[in-house]
Amino acid sequence: KNQVEQSPQSLIILEGKNCTLQCNYTVSPFSNLRWYKQDTGRGPVSLTIMTFSENTKSNGRYTATLDADTKQSSLHITASQLSDSASYICVVSAKQAGTALIFGKGTTLSVSS
Amino acid sequence: KAGVTQTPRYLIKTRGQQVTLSCSPISGHRSVSWYQQTPGQGLQFLFEYFSETQRNKGNFPGRFSGRQFSNSRSEMNVSTLELGDSALYLCASSWGGSDYNEQFFGPGTRLTVL
């Protein structure tokens, strides 16, 4: 069964600190993996999209890594800011006809001052 | 370039009624996908339309339906509303199919079923 699991479910960190969010998937065959940021009451915003051949992708202070062999991805946030407080959602696309994207349930990050 | 717009933003209905939600994609985008988001289940895929054809469908009952018009605007309809249909409904557009292309989400329609 195609699944995406994220950990931790929630996280609280101090402003300025770094953090890493995890995503494990069992989706097969794999096409691409995405990380989204969703602020409360708003639609998700794409942070990165990685295909099978990409190991790392950065978007400002956000760096995503992908290990297609172990089917794991991480999202590293550097020097966190209060505006980073949001839900971070990992999404995996399977390479098959008429596929749907499979969403993780997200990690809720709270950055405090 | 204008983003994805959804109307209405908020909606209150009673059980048994039906509802139609609207989504206008980014200009030039041909794919529109619909999602249901609830606190317990997270984001769940409803369906995707590409050039007026349903390209893929999630695991939702037939009460949930959609369509796409020639200008790429899309509507989704939920008939015989149930309490469990209360959720944030998000639409997302992309230039090509959602499986390979970056999606841009709208702000969502918050549906409350009483």
In a 3-state reduction of DSSP, which class is residue A87? Answer: strand
Q: How confident is the model at residue A96 (pLDDT cuts 50, 70, 90)?
A: low
Cα–Cα distance list, B104 to A5, A42, A46, B8, B76 (Å)? 23, 12, 7, 18, 18
- Tell me what percent of the residues of chain A surpass a pLDDT of 90: 75
A3 and chain B in contact, CB less than 8 A? no
Provide DSSP, A49-74. Answer: EEETT--EEEETTEEEEEETTTTEEE
Q: How confident is the model at residue A99 (pLDDT cuts 50, 70, 90)?
A: low
Question: Each residue of B60-98: pLDDT tens digit?
Answer: 999 999 999 999 999 999 999 999 999 999 999 998 877
Q: Are A101 and B45 a contacting pair at CB < 8 A?
A: yes
User: pLDDT higher for A50 or B56?
Assistant: A50
Chain B CB contacts of A105 under 8 Å are 41-42
What's the pLDDT at B67? 97
Chain B CB contacts of A94 under 8 Å are 99
- Tell me what percent of the residues of chain A surpass a pLDDT of 70: 96
Instruction: Give the mean pLDDT of B105-113.
Output: 96
Picking from A18, A19, A23, the residue whose alpha carbon sits closest to that of residue A105 is A23
CA distance A78 to A59: 11
Picking from A63, A75, A66, A74, the residue whose alpha carbon sits closest to that of residue A30 is A66
In a 3-state reduction of DSSP, which class is residue A84? Answer: helix
Picking from A28, A87, A95, the residue whose alpha carbon sits closest to that of residue B39 is A87
Mean pLDDT of chain A: 92
Question: Which chain A residue is nearest to residue B54, measuring alpha carbons?
Answer: A98
H or E segment and range at residue B67: strand B64-68
Shortest alpha-carbon distance between residue B94 and chain A (Å): 12
A44 and chain B in contact, CB less than 8 A? yes
What's the pLDDT at A98? 57
Q: How confident is the model at residue B108 (pLDDT cuts 50, 70, 90)?
A: very high
Strand partners, A90: A35
Picking from B78, B7, B110, B34, the residue whose alpha carbon sits closest to that of residue A42 is B110
Lowest mean pLDDT among A42-51, A87-96, B82-91, B105-114: A87-96
Shortest alpha-carbon distance between residue A19 and chain B (Å): 22
B106 and chain A in contact, CB less than 8 A? yes
Instruction: Give the mean pLDDT of A59-76.
Output: 96
Q: Are B99 and A31 a contacting pair at CB < 8 A?
A: yes
Lowest mean pLDDT among A53-57, B32-36, B74-78, B95-99: B95-99
Chain A CB contacts of B57 under 8 Å are 100
CA distance A98 to B60: 16
Question: Each residue of A24-40: pLDDT tens digit?
Answer: 999 888 889 999 999 99
Shortest alpha-carbon distance between residue B48 and chain A (Å): 8
Instruction: Give the mean pLDDT of B18-23.
Output: 98
What's the pLDDT at A97? 55
Picking from B82, B88, B36, the residue whose alpha carbon sits closest to that of residue B59 is B36
Chain B CB contacts of A49 under 8 Å are 102
What's the pLDDT at A61? 97
